[in-house]
Amino acid sequence: MDTKFKGYLLISDMDGTLINSKAEISKENVNAINKFVDKGGIFTIATGRTMESAGRYLNQLSVNAPIILYNGAKLYDYKRQETLYELSLEESVKGVIEKVKLKDSSLGLEIYCEENVYIYNPCRFTERFSKKGYEVYYDIKDIWEKNWTKVLILGEEKQLDILEESFIDTFGSVNLIRSGENYLEIIPENTSKGYGLVKLCRVLNIDLKKTAAVGDNMNDIELLYEAKYGFCVANGNKRVLDIVKYTCPSNDEHPIEYIVKWIEKNLV
């Protein structure tokens, strides 16, 4: 039996990386993942998505390790349906987003709590859930005493550019990450996909020197930094492309297939 990839972990971001611009995972990527796992490799995902949202794609994939959700705030064993760890936002963030809403009521505000999405302030971007058949909640009066996992701020790209630059000076210190042109997230302090990767490697007893990761945006930087081999897709955020050592084809050109071939050629 060929086990050439044994001991290697490949971890991929979802949106803008594994998932193409048609909201699909190409058969080329699926086949490459199957090959990697069949020959001893470990494959999983690191995403800002909820379990429900990520789960819509997982049945297509040979995921054989816990997955990283909420940009590192949660490590979840999908096969056993077991949470290995989950971090919560600091209580002070609740006051911060109240101030954000008062400052600019045109911004969309979503609260992620107990695997549910609550719309604190709607905008055109918060409508994406209903279009895709997800259930969201507009009654948020019962969640202020609960633990929150993350807050997502949504708006036009230039609007968020300005907000991101001035956010901490205006509203106070939070763990702020840009996960897309129209997405600005607040996640728990000392949390990132990179932090999630380190925790995952401890759980699996995997050497970080045998890890490869791929992403496309600013919320992937720590993941690509912690992995020994960090790839950014060719159409990824320019700031990420300027930082990483390795690049791969765009999310429409089967980047996972490329990386599996690269590992096979250069590492095993």
Domains and CATH numbers, the chain: 9-86+191-266 (3.40.50.1000), 92-187 (3.30.1240.10)
Q: Kindly tell me if the per-residue pLDDT of 130 is higher than 80.
A: no
Three-state secondary-structure class, residue 120: strand
CA distance 48 to 69: 5
What pLDDT, on a 0 to 100 scale, did the predictor assign at position 143? Answer: 95
Tens digit of pLDDT for each residue in 6-44?
Answer: 999 999 999 999 999 999 999 999 999 999 999 999 999
pTM for the whole thing? 0.94
Q: How confident is the model at residue 126 (pLDDT cuts 50, 70, 90)?
A: very high
Phi and psi for 5 in degrees, rounded to 5?
-95, 5
Q: Kindly tell me if the per-residue pLDDT of 244 is higher than 80.
A: yes
What pLDDT, on a 0 to 100 scale, did the predictor assign at position 225? Answer: 96
- The answer to whether 143 touches 118, Cβ cutoff 8 Å, is yes
Q: Kindly tell me if the per-residue pLDDT of 245 is higher than 90.
A: yes
What pLDDT, on a 0 to 100 scale, did the predictor assign at position 88? Answer: 97
Q: How confident is the model at residue 132 (pLDDT cuts 50, 70, 90)?
A: confident
Instruction: Let me know how long the chain is.
Output: 268
Q: Exposed (0-12), middle (13-18) or buried (19+): which is 101, by Cβ within 10 Å?
A: middle
Angle, helices 92-103/157-171, rounded to nearest 10 degrees: 130
Residue recorded with tokens 């259930």: 135
- The answer to whether 65 touches 204, Cβ cutoff 8 Å, is yes
Phi and psi for 82 in degrees, rounded to 5?
-135, 130
Q: Kindly tell me if the per-residue pLDDT of 4 is higher than 90.
A: yes
Q: What is the mean pLDDT of residues 235-259?
A: 97
- The answer to whether 220 touches 211, Cβ cutoff 8 Å, is no
Q: Kindly tell me if the per-residue pLDDT of 241 is higher than 80.
A: yes
Residue 149's alpha-carbon distances to 95, 137, 146, 236, 254, in angstroms, are 15, 16, 10, 26, 31
Q: Exposed (0-12), middle (13-18) or buried (19+): which is 161, by Cβ within 10 Å?
A: middle
Across the chain, mean pLDDT equals 95
Q: What is the mean pLDDT of residues 49-71?
A: 95
CA distance 105 to 171: 15
- pLDDT exceeding 70 applies to what percent of the chain? 100
Tens digit of pLDDT for each residue in 161-198?
Answer: 999 999 999 999 999 999 999 999 999 999 999 999 99
Please give the residue that has the higher pLDDT: either 52 or 29.
29
- pLDDT exceeding 90 applies to what percent of the chain? 94
Q: Which residues contact 152 (CB under 8 A, 6 or more apart)?
A: 108, 109, 110, 112, 183, 184, 185
Please give the residue that has the higher pLDDT: either 131 or 168.
168
Q: Kindly tell me if the per-residue pLDDT of 131 is higher than 80.
A: no
